[in-house]
Amino acid sequence: MEVPLSYVTEIVLPADECRYAVYDYDFVTEENCQKSRIFFIAWSPDTSRVRSKMIYASSKDRFKRELDGIHFSDSSSSPTTVMVMKFALKVRSGSHTATGLRRWNEDEHIVVDDLSSHLGSLHTCPLPTSFYAVFDGHGGSEAATYLKNNAIRFLFQDVDFFKTSHNIDDGGDDNGFLNELKDCHIKAFLLADRALADEECSGVSSDCGTTALTALVLGRHLVVANAGDCRAVICRKGIAVPITQDHRTSYLPERRRVEELGGTIKFRYPNGELAVTRALGDWYMKSPFGSVSLSPLTAEPDVHQIVLTEDDEFLIMASDGIWDVLSNQEAVDIVCHGLMQRHHPQQCASEVVDQALGLGSKDNLTAIVVCFTWDVDRKRPRRGCKRKAAFV
């Protein structure tokens, strides 16, 4: 499914307000790639002069950050009115899952390219929205299945996400909104964890749990939340950039957190029980039952926020069965190769899973590939995959 994410807005600037100028000019790189560069200049209305290709914006408008990838068209005769045309971001996705060498598949996942169509009238966000998730269950598939069926409700209804989302302007960053968005994800994860404690309502036993990885595309904003060892990796100009960090005792900050809360590490497992330090469910390890837990095992996620640009080509989300045998760059290279062969993201996800199976992965395997296509008014050469690694 392909969803266009472009729109046009008109901004009227108060005459007595401090203004900014954006100067945009085209240039050609050494690789003969045409690009644009944008500068910001602040001045008062009394001393301003209209210059060719200069665009005006109010100090209340969030244009200060991530301007590359925005096309400005000053078609208005008045310098206080500006038409702003965003690059059209198209989202295409595909997924694949396999049982592997296990007796049954305890992985679950969610792929929703167009959340407005999925939620109908409940979707009141002013920006186009997509949602993806991977759940890797343990002790049975019940916890992962419960989250697959209820994750959208927890995040978008129960924590009143759409009331918060009205505070965003896709033109840049808003620290207040992004902090609220982070809080929404944390509350949703903890709310879901609390729901799993009620065996009668959830139907999930206390010795069953799941890791959780979610990704929300909100206009040009990407928000990723993770609790456990599923992983999200973005491809940026062919380079693998990990977004999340696996919550295992091999990750020193997690090991320290577990030990500071009184936990012990046995055979690299917290309290000798699980391979991960964060998970939803598993209430036999958390106490008091069903309340806010001080157990070393927590459901609180790490939340990461990225403003997408033209350099961001696609996102891979996968369970640990993939990452046990594939490096971040190897997974990105598989998808790059598939996309250059004009494969659909669904086929690319299947190729990632098949490659991991061929390398002897012993776990369940799930992969989601989300492609970001930027429609611009100039042609850009296709970027090749590079054998490098980068970190956000």
Distance CA 74, CA 360 (A): 57
Q: What is the DSSP string of 294-350?
A: -SSSB-PPEEEEEE--TTEEEEEEE-HHHHTT--HHHHHHHHHHHHHTT--HHHHHH
Alpha-carbon distances, residue 234 vs 200, 222, 308, 309, 384 (angstroms): 39, 11, 10, 12, 15
Distance CA 281, CA 314 (A): 31
Q: What's the pLDDT score for residue 123?
A: 67
**Of residues 195 and 70, more confidently modeled:** 195
Highest mean pLDDT among 85-89, 253-257, 338-342, 378-382: 338-342
Beta bridge partners of 270: 265
CB 134 within 8 A of CB 318: yes
Q: What is the mean pLDDT of residues 273-294?
A: 79
Which of 12-21, 46-55, 281-290 has the least mean pLDDT? 46-55
pLDDT in tens, 256-281: 888 888 877 777 777 667 889 999 99
Alpha-carbon distances, residue 20 vs 58, 60, 61, 187 (angstroms): 6, 10, 10, 37
Q: What's the pLDDT score for residue 23?
A: 42
Q: What share of the chain is helix, strand, coil (3-state, %, to 5)?
A: 25, 35, 40
Alpha-carbon distances, residue 14 vs 55, 80, 81, 99, 171 (angstroms): 15, 7, 10, 60, 18
**Of residues 57 and 302, more confidently modeled:** 302
Tell which residue, 129, 35, 2, 20, has the closest CA to residue 84.
20
Q: What's the pLDDT score for residue 1?
A: 45
CB 332 within 8 A of CB 244: no
CB 19 within 8 A of CB 45: yes
Q: What's the pLDDT score for residue 18?
A: 45
Which of 88-102, 168-182, 248-262, 352-366 has the least mean pLDDT? 168-182
The reply to whether omega before 288 is within 30° of 0 (cis) is yes
Q: What is the mean pLDDT of residues 320-344?
A: 97
Q: At what angle do helices 175-196 and 142-153 cross, to 10 degrees?
A: 140
Q: Is the pLDDT of residue 196 over 50?
A: yes
Burial (CB count <10 Å: 0-12, 13-18, 19+), residue 42: exposed
Sign (positive or negative) of CA dihedral 311, 316, 317, 322: negative
Q: Which domains does the chain have, with CATH numbers?
A: 3-86 (no CATH), 89-190+210-247+302-375 (3.60.40.10)
**Of residues 261 and 58, more confidently modeled:** 261
Q: What is the mean pLDDT of residues 101-107?
A: 95
Q: Is the pLDDT of residue 388 over 50?
A: no
User: pLDDT tier at 128 (50, 70, 90 boundaries)?
Assistant: confident
Distance CA 149, CA 68 (A): 38
Tokens of 101: 């060498």
Q: What is the mean pLDDT of residues 322-346?
A: 97
User: pLDDT tier at 116 (50, 70, 90 boundaries)?
Assistant: confident
Q: What's the pLDDT score for residue 126?
A: 66
Q: What is the mean pLDDT of residues 140-168?
A: 82
Q: What is the mean pLDDT of residues 342-356?
A: 97
Q: What is the mean pLDDT of residues 51-80?
A: 38
Q: What is the DSSP string of 171-227?
A: TS--HHHHHHHHHHHHHHHHHHHHHHT-HHHH---TT-EEEEEEEEEETTEEEEEEE
